[in-house]
Amino acid sequence: MEEIEILKASDKKTRLIPNLPDYKSLYPNFSWERAKSELAWFPGGKINAAYNAVDRHLDSSACDKIALYWEGDKGEKSTYTFSQLAKLSNQWGNYLKKSGVVKGDRVFIFLPRIPDLFTSFLGILKIGAVAGTLFSAFQQQALFDRLEDSGAKILITNRELSLRLAEIRNKLPELKQVVIVDDNDFQKNLSAEQSDLEVMPMDPEDNAFMLYTSGTTGKPKGVVHKHLAILSQHVTAYHILDLHDEDIYWCTADPGWVTGIGYTILGSWSNKASEVIFSGRFDASRWYQILQDYKVTIWYTAPTAVRMLMAEGDLPKKYNLTSLRHILSVGEPLNPEAIRWGLKMFGLAFHDTWWQTETGCMCLVNYICNDTKLGSMGLPILGLSGGIVDDRGQEVPRKTEGNIALRPGWPSMMKEIWKRPEKYQSYFVNGWYISGDRGWEDEDGYFWFIGRSDDVIKTAGERVGPFEVESALIEHPAVVEAGVIGKPDELRGEIIKAFVDLKDEYKAKIADKSYEDQLKIELSQYVKKHLAGHAYPREVEFIDKLPKTRSGKIMRRILKAKEMGQPIGDTSTLEEY
C-alpha cells in the first residue's frame, strides 16, 4: 500500500476563519443539550423543524435575504427570500389542512427539483404531517411499494409524473388525493390561501419526514426521522459546511435522498444559507456555469459527479471559479485522486463526509480545521463517538478491520423503520449502532472505509476491500470509474473482478482486441504494483456505465448478481440504468 498522503490544515486556503476553529479542544466538551439553544423552541419544550429552517429568521435581518436561487433545466430563473418561503409554505400548510391532513398523516412529494417541492415539504412539517420524498425517476413499482407501505394520504406531483400512477391508483385505498402542481386551478386555489399559519408545536420525538432506502434483499424500508433531527443537521451544517452569512451554497443532492433534506432544506436554511438549486440533470459545462454565475462559495456534491467532472479534463479552466472557498463530498468514499484533482483545479481539497439515511446527519467527516488524510473518512462529529467493533459489538484494536459503529443517541438518529420494529432493533448490538460498513481506525482516530459488510472480498485467505482496489484503478490515466466484486473461484475462494468505465479516448482504442487485452493486463499489473500482490483484479471487464444509486454509490451487488446470473433485486433507487 502506498504511503498515506496528508494535507495539513495549515496548507488549506480557508479565506474565512472556520466556524469550528479547533476540533481537539471542542470535541471533549460538546453537549447536544447546550446546542439546543441554537434553535427556536415553543413553550413546553416543543419544536418544529420547518419553523426553525425558515420562519424563525423572519424577526432578523435575514427576513429579506435570498434563501433560494432556482434555475430550471431550460434556463428559467427565480429567487425566493426567507419571507417568501415562509408565506408560500404557509399557503401549502393551509391548503393541506383544508384537504383533511392532520398530525401524523403521510404526505408524499413526487416532483423534480422545482420550488413547489421545497415549499410543500416545509408546509407539510408545519402542520404536523410527515413528509415523504420520492425521486422523479421512480416508475410504477417503486411508487407503489412506497405509497402502499407508508399509507400516504396525499401525493403531490405534476402532470407528467402523475401518468405513472394510472395503473396503481386503484390499488392504493389510503391515497385520498393527488395534487397536480402545474394545474392552473390548483395554483389559483393555492394562491388564494392565507399566507399566515399557526405552526404546530411538535414534540421533539414526533415524526417529521421519512425516506425509503433499499438493501440487498426485500422491499425498500421506510426510515423515519423526527423533528429533533434538525438539531444535528443545524450544528453539522454550521461546523462542517462552514456556512457564513456571505456564502452562496450549492448542494447538488435531490431531496429524494437524505442529503437533499438535511442539507438543502433543514440544516442549511436553519443557518440562513443562500442556496442554489438546479433542477436539471448532470452536465459538466452547465455545472461549471452555475458555479461561476452564482459565485458559489461552498459546494457539496458526490464523488461520482467529481469523477465525471475529472473525465472532462481541463474544462474548469474555461470558467471563473475563484469564488469557491470550500468543497465537500458525500455518497460514497472519496478516492485520493479526486482530492488531488480538486487541489489542482480549484486550489481546494474536497472534504469527504460519511453518513447514512439512518443517521440523518454527517457522522464521520473531514473538517477544515483538521489535517486531511487523503482517502480517509475523517473523524467523528462533535457529540458523537465512533468505533470499530466485531460482530458481537466488542471493540477491536486500532488498525484492525471490523464494523464501523456509532454510539446511539445523537439527535438525528432514525426514530424507527416504518412498521418494522424487528428490523430497527437489528441495527443495534451491545450498545452500538452497526452501520453495515466495514473499516478500521488509525492511531490518530481517523476512520478508513473498506466496504459494505457483504462486499468485502476473501481471496486466498486475505480480505480485500473493493474500495481500495477501485481507488488504485482510478489512479490509472485510462480509468473514469471502477466497480470491484469478488467472484467465486475453486482455488482461491474468490478472485477480484473489476468492471471499468474508460475515458472516451480509450474506449475508442479498445475496438482493437489486442489493445483491449493489453490494457486489461496493464490495469491488473498497475493495481498489483500500487496496492498489494494479492489485491489485484484477475479479471477486468470494460463497461459503459456502472450501476449506481442516485446518491452515487456503486451498486456492487448488481454487478455481482449479473456476473453470477442471479436476480438483481430491488433497483428502484438506481440511476436510470
Domain-located, residue 571: no
**What's the whole-number mean pLDDT along residues 474-500?**
87
Joined grid coordinates for residue 122: 416545509
Residues 464 and 390 in one domain: no
Q: Which residues pair with 134 in a beta bridge?
A: 110
Same domain, 235 and 144: yes
pLDDT range class, residue 194, cuts 50, 70, 90? very high
Q: Which DSSP category does 544 fall into? A: S
CA 560, CA 320: separation in Å to the nearest integer?
A: 42
Q: Percent of the chain scored above 70 by pLDDT?
A: 95
pLDDT value at residue 1: 45
Higher local confidence (pLDDT), 81 or 486: 81
pLDDT in tens, 173-189: 999 999 999 999 999 99
The overall average pLDDT reported for the chain is 92
Shared domain check, 430 and 495? no
* Cβ pair 474, 482 in contact under 8 A: yes
Asked if residue 151 and residue 297 are part of one domain, the reply reads yes
Question: Measured between alpha carbons, how far is 21 from 368 in angstroms, rounded to an integer?
Answer: 8
The domain that holds 338 is classified in CATH as 3.40.50.12780
Half-sphere exposure (CA, 13 Å, Cβ side) for 135? 23
User: Is 575 a domain residue?
Assistant: no
Do the beta carbons of residue 414 and residue 374 sit within 8 Å? Answer: no
Rounded to two decimals, the pTM is 0.84
Give ∠ CA 158-549-309 in degrees, rounded to 5: 95
| Confidence band, pLDDT 50/70/90 cuts, at residue 322 | very high
Contact 127, 96 (CB under 8 A): yes
* For range 420-437, the mean pLDDT: 96
Q: How far apart are the first and last CA of the chain?
A: 34
**pLDDT 10s digits, 269-307:** 999 999 999 999 889 999 999 999 999 999 999 887 898
User: What CATH number is associated with residue 525?
Assistant: 3.30.300.30
CB 127 within 8 Å of CB 103: yes
- On whether residue 487 sits in a domain, the answer given is yes
Confidence of residue 325 (pLDDT cuts 50, 70, 90): very high
Residue ending a domain, among 447, 470, 485, is 447
Looking at the structure, tell me whether residues 420 and 484 fall in a common domain.
no
Q: Give the pLDDT score at 461.
A: 57
Tell me: pLDDT of 458 over 70.
no
Summarize the chain as % helix, strand, coil (round to 5). Answer: 35, 25, 40
| Domain end residue (candidates: 389, 416, 447) | 447
pLDDT for res 565:
85
Q: Across the strands, what pairs with 66?
A: 81
Are 421 and 548 members of one domain?
Answer: no
31 — pLDDT class (breaks 50, 70, 90): very high
Query: Cα(471)–Cα(463) distance, rounded to whole angstroms?
Result: 16
Checking if the pLDDT of 48 tops 50, the result is yes
Binned at pLDDT 50, 70 and 90, residue 154 comes out as: very high
Number of domains in the chain: 2
**Inter-residue contact 205 to 238 (CB < 8 Å):** no
Give per-residue burial for 138-171: e unless 16+ CB within 10 Å, then b: beeebbbbbbbbbebbbbbbbeebbebbeebbee
Question: Domain range holding 405?
Answer: 6-447
Q: Can you tell me the distance from the alpha carbon of 95 to that of 84, in angstroms, rounded to the nearest whole number?
A: 17
Bridge partners for 365 per DSSP = 353, 379
Percent of the chain's residues with pLDDT above 90? 78
Please report the pLDDT score of residue 577 as a whole number. 32
Instruction: Answer yes or no: do 433 and 541 share one domain.
Output: no
Checking if the pLDDT of 167 tops 60, the result is yes
Q: Say if residues 479 and 511 touch (Cβ distance below 8 Å).
A: no
Contact 405, 440 (CB under 8 A): no
Which of the four pLDDT bands, split at 50, 70 and 90, describes residue 218? low
Q: What is the pLDDT of residue 475?
A: 87
The predicted pLDDT at position 36 comes to 98
**Model pLDDT for residues 378-397, shown as the tens digit of each residue:** 999 999 999 999 999 999 99
- Cα–Cα nearest to 534, from 483, 494, 569: 494
Which are the contacts of 332, defined by CB distance < 8 A and separation ≥ 6? Answer: 302, 303, 304, 551, 552, 553, 554
Question: Are 397 and 343 members of one domain?
Answer: yes
Strand 402-406 with 432-441, pairing: antiparallel
Residue 573 pLDDT grade (very low, low, confident, very high; cuts 50, 70, 90):
low
Q: Write the pLDDT tens digit of every residue in 335-372.
A: 899 999 999 999 999 999 999 999 999 999 999 999 99
Q: Are 57 and 40 in contact (CB under 8 A)?
A: no
**Domain identity same for 145 and 270:** yes
**Has residue 429 been placed in a domain?**
yes
**Average pLDDT, stretch 520-529?**
89
- Please say whether the beta carbons of 244 and 123 come within 8 A: no
Residue 460: pLDDT above 70? no
pLDDT of residue 576: 47
- Using only C-alpha atoms, the chain has a radius of gyration, in whole angstroms, of 23
Q: What is the pLDDT of residue 566?
A: 79
Q: Residue 527 pLDDT more than 80? A: yes
Q: What is the pLDDT of residue 553?
A: 76
C-alpha separations of 170 from 105, 140, 162, 167, 174 in Å: 20, 13, 14, 7, 10
User: Residue 477 region, left (φ>0) first, then alpha (ψ -120 to 50), else beta?
Assistant: alpha
Same domain, 297 and 399: yes
Q: How far is it, in rounded angstroms, from Cα 37 to Cα 347?
A: 36
The H or E element spanning position 545 is none
Q: Indicate whether 420 and 481 sit together in one domain.
A: no
Q: Are 451 and 437 in contact (CB under 8 A)?
A: yes
pLDDT at 159: 97
Query: pLDDT band at 201, cuts 50/70/90?
Result: very high
The single residue listed with the C-alpha cell 399566515 is 196
Asked, for residue 572, whether it belongs to a domain, the answer is no
> Would residue 494 count as lying in a domain?
yes
Residue 70 three-state SS: strand
Asked whether residue 574 is domain-assigned, the answer is no
For residue 265, the 8-state DSSP code is I
How large is the average pLDDT for residues 472-483?
Answer: 91
Asked whether residue 423 is domain-assigned, the answer is: yes
For residues 37 and 235, give the distance between their C-alpha atoms in angstroms, rounded to a whole number.
11
CB atoms within 10 A of CB 246: 8
Spell out the residues 6+ positions from residue 158 whose beta carbon is closer than 8 angstroms to its own: 111, 112, 114, 180, 181, 182
| H/E stretch holding 560 | helix 556-564
- Domain C-terminal end among 419, 447, 475: 447
Average pLDDT for 434-456: 88
Instruction: Encode burial over 96-135: b for 16+ CB neighbours within 10 A, e otherwise.
Output: bbeeebeeebbbbbbbbbbbbbbbbbbbbbbbbbbbbbbb
Same domain, 513 and 546: yes
